[in-house]
């Protein structure tokens, strides 16, 4: 690359301060414990430990400094160039037309310093397929997004030429920013209900366990635990009940706070040919999914939220980056089923949901009940051999196993509707999956000896998206053969075209 012909940009100097603060934050617990709470320099081990932590801290800060100092980026009309590296400089270039989406993220410290993090995604799986600008000013972020919009516009004009046009006009074209259309926004009531119907109400227990474990590594808390144990033994039932109630109330509050911080100001928008999801109060993030990359739709229902008819909706998108795959696909985290279906039917009408789904035959239930549960057998063997006094708990274990298989039989459904395939699977947690024939890469049918006796089998559907495998178990063999035949025959010309 020719550096003289390009205008190179550095990240703002405040990004260096941001990285130093992030390093200090990662070391904050050992620093407080070793230099504030237990500042003991009398032992040789204590001195070595404290000096070692300070050296690691200094080395990490130096690494962040050289990483900031070496990082530069530049753009021309077709390519973005990046120079980065902590100790060794690396250069790479990325064609602008390959960038499919831009994800912005603004954690609390970023927002405090007035910068945002941009991630440019090409929807490919190689290590050089994307890059980050970890801290640019909002006006610079807007400039970069406008440049990408211009590239997309030029690419669209190139892909669809005007009939009879021989030369490309040299008149500059004014690019209008795609208008944003709000598809859905979470209300405060929805976040509260979702918090009460999720396991986040028990968030206090893992948080407290992590804090106690971190402190116990440096300060022995056995005496404190003994004191608490003595109090529980001698306390009255009313006092223990009030304590448990207080802990549960506190956990509910913590769960609500976590959900508000994560999903506050949640907005689902459509900007041109892409879906945009924005969320978060302290840590604000915005991620995009191109419409053409959508391979399938999933609707998820947890066991508790099914009672309240609350579902979550996510998109299976082709080639999403590994670090964004879990977050970027969720477009509706928890909404009423009716509202979710309204959004899907109105704004994602390329997917058509079936009115009728078919149940499994009764012989599938026998297969599920007769299938060996290795977890149940192993746990039962361990309990009966080592903890025979607690063997009665095995009744609950096997009740859960058998109940789960009954629920799986009752909830599993499937349907083929023209070129669409829809599956509904799960036991305690249920997932509905919808895709169409052009987006399916492979259908695999497997059959165990037990299934062969009952003439049923498993069918695995694979698309090109992240988490793209969907399995339905114990469906009739003739239905599986019909699905294979349906997939292998392309009777319509547009079926030969694979979207995305």
Report pLDDT for 388.
81
Closest to 311 (Cα-Cα) out of 489, 452, 433, 488: 433
Give the strand pairing for 330-336 and 358-359: unpaired
d(CA 28, CA 37): 12
State the Cα torsion 32-37-39-42 to the nearest 10°: -140
Closest of 446, 357, 370 to residue 405, by C-alpha: 370
CA 405 to centroid of chain Cα atoms: 28
Kindly tell me the burial class for residue 296, based on how many C-beta atoms sit within 10 Å of its own C-beta (0-12, 13-18, 19 or more).
buried
Is residue 466 within 8 Å of residue 316, measured between CB atoms?
yes
- What CATH number does the domain located at 352-500 have? 2.30.29.30
Q: Domain map of the chain by residue range?
A: 3-162, 188-263, 352-500
Give the pLDDT score at 224.
58
Q: The tokens of 292 are what?
A: 């053409």
pLDDT of residue 412: 94
The edge-to-edge listing of strands for the beta sheet with 358-359 is: 330-336, 310-317, 294-301, 430-436, 420-426, 413-417, 358-359
b/e map 20-59, b = 16+ CB within 10 Å: beebeeebeebeebbeeeeeeeeeeeeeeebeeeeeebee
38 and 126 in contact (C-beta within 8 Å)? no
Q: What is the DSSP string of 373-388?
A: -HHHHHHHHHHHHH-G
User: ∠ CA(118), CA(123), CA(127), 5° rounding?
Assistant: 80
Radius of gyration of the chain (CA): 28
Quick check: do 3-162 and 352-500 share a fold?
A: yes
pLDDT at position 233, please? 60
Instruction: Sort 477 into a burial class: Cβ within 10 Å, 0-12 / 13-18 / 19+.
Output: middle
Please say whether the beta carbons of 86 and 74 come within 8 A.
Answer: no
| Contact between residue 398 and residue 435 where contact means Cβ atoms under 8 Å apart | no
User: 432: helix, coil or strand?
Assistant: strand
What is the SS3 assignment for 444?
Answer: strand
For position 500, what pLDDT does the model report? Answer: 45
Which residues of the chain are modeled with pLDDT < 70?
A: 1-4, 40, 123-130, 152-178, 199-236, 319-328, 465-467, 490-500
pLDDT in tens, 150-190: 776 665 555 544 444 444 444 444 445 557 788 899 888 88
> Could you give the C-alpha distances from 288 to 66, 131, 156, 277, 302, in angstroms and in order?
31, 15, 19, 6, 26
For 240, residues 6+ apart whose C-beta sits below 8 A from its C-beta are 232
SS (H, E, C) 210-269: HHHHHHHCCCCCHHHHHHHHHHHHHCCHHHHHHHHHHHHHHHHHHHHHHHHHHHCCCEEE
Which CATH architecture is the domain 3-162 placed in?
A: Roll (2.30)
Residue 162: per-residue pLDDT:
43
Place of tokens 């990408």: 148
């Amino acid at each position: 690359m020719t550096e003289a012909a390009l205008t190179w940009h550095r990240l703002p100097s405040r990004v260096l301060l941001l990285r130093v603060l992030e390093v200090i934050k990662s070391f904050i617990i050992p620093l407080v414990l070793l230099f504030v709470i237990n500042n003991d320099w009398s032992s040789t081990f204590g001195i070595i430990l404290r000096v070692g932590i300070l050296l690691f801290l200094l080395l990490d800060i130096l690494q962040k400094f050289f990483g900031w100092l070496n990082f530069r980026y530049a753009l021309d009309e077709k390519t973005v160039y990046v120079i980065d590296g902590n100790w060794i400089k690396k250069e790479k270039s990325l064609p602008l037309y390959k960038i499919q989406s831009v994800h912005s993220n603004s954690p609390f410290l970023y927002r405090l310093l007035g910068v945002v993090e941009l991630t440019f995604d090409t929807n490919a799986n190689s290590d050089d397929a994307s890059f980050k600008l970890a801290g640019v000013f909002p006006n610079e972020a807007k400039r970069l997004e406008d440049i990408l919009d211009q590239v997309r516009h030029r690419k669209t004009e190139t892909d669809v030429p005007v009939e009879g046009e021989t030369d490309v006009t040299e008149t500059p074209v004014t690019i209008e920013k795609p208008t944003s259309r709000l598809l859905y926004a979470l209300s405060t009531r929805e976040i509260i209900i979702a918090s009460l119907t999720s396991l986040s109400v028990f968030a206090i227990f893992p948080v407290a366990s992590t804090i106690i474990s971190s402190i116990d590594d440096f300060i022995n808390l056995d005496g404190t635990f003994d004191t608490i144990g003595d109090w529980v033994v001698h306390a009255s039932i009313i006092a223990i009940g009030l304590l448990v109630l207080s802990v549960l109330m506190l956990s509910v509050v913590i769960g609500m706070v976590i959900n508000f911080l994560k999903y506050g100001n949640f907005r689902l928008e459509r900007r041109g040919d892409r879906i945009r999801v924005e969320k978060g109060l302290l840590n604000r993030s915005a991620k995009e999914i191109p419409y053409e990359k959508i391979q399938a739709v999933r609707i998820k229902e947890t066991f508790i939220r099914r009672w309240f008819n609350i579902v979550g909706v996510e998109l299976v998108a082709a080639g999403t980056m590994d670090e964004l795959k879990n977050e970027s696909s969720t477009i509706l985290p928890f909404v009423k089923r009716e509202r979710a279906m309204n959004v899907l039917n109105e704004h994602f009408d390329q997917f058509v949901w079936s009115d009728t789904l078919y149940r499994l035959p009764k012989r599938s239930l026998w297969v599920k009940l007769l299938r060996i549960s290795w977890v149940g057998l192993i746990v039962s063997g361990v309990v009966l051999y080592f903890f025979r006094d607690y063997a009665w708990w095995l009744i609950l274990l096997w009740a859960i196993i058998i109940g789960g298989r009954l629920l799986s039989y009752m909830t599993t459904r499937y349907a083929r509707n023209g070129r669409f395939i829809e599956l509904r699977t799960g036991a305690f947690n249920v997932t509905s999956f919808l895709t169409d024939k052009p987006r399916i890469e492979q259908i695999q049918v497997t059959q165990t000896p037990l299934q062969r006796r009952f003439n049923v089998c498993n069918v695995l559907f694979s698309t090109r998206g992240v988490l793209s495998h969907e399995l339905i178990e114990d469906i009739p063999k003739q239905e599986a053969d019909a699905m294979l035949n349906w997939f292998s025959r392309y009777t319509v010309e547009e079926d030969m075209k694979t979207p995305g």
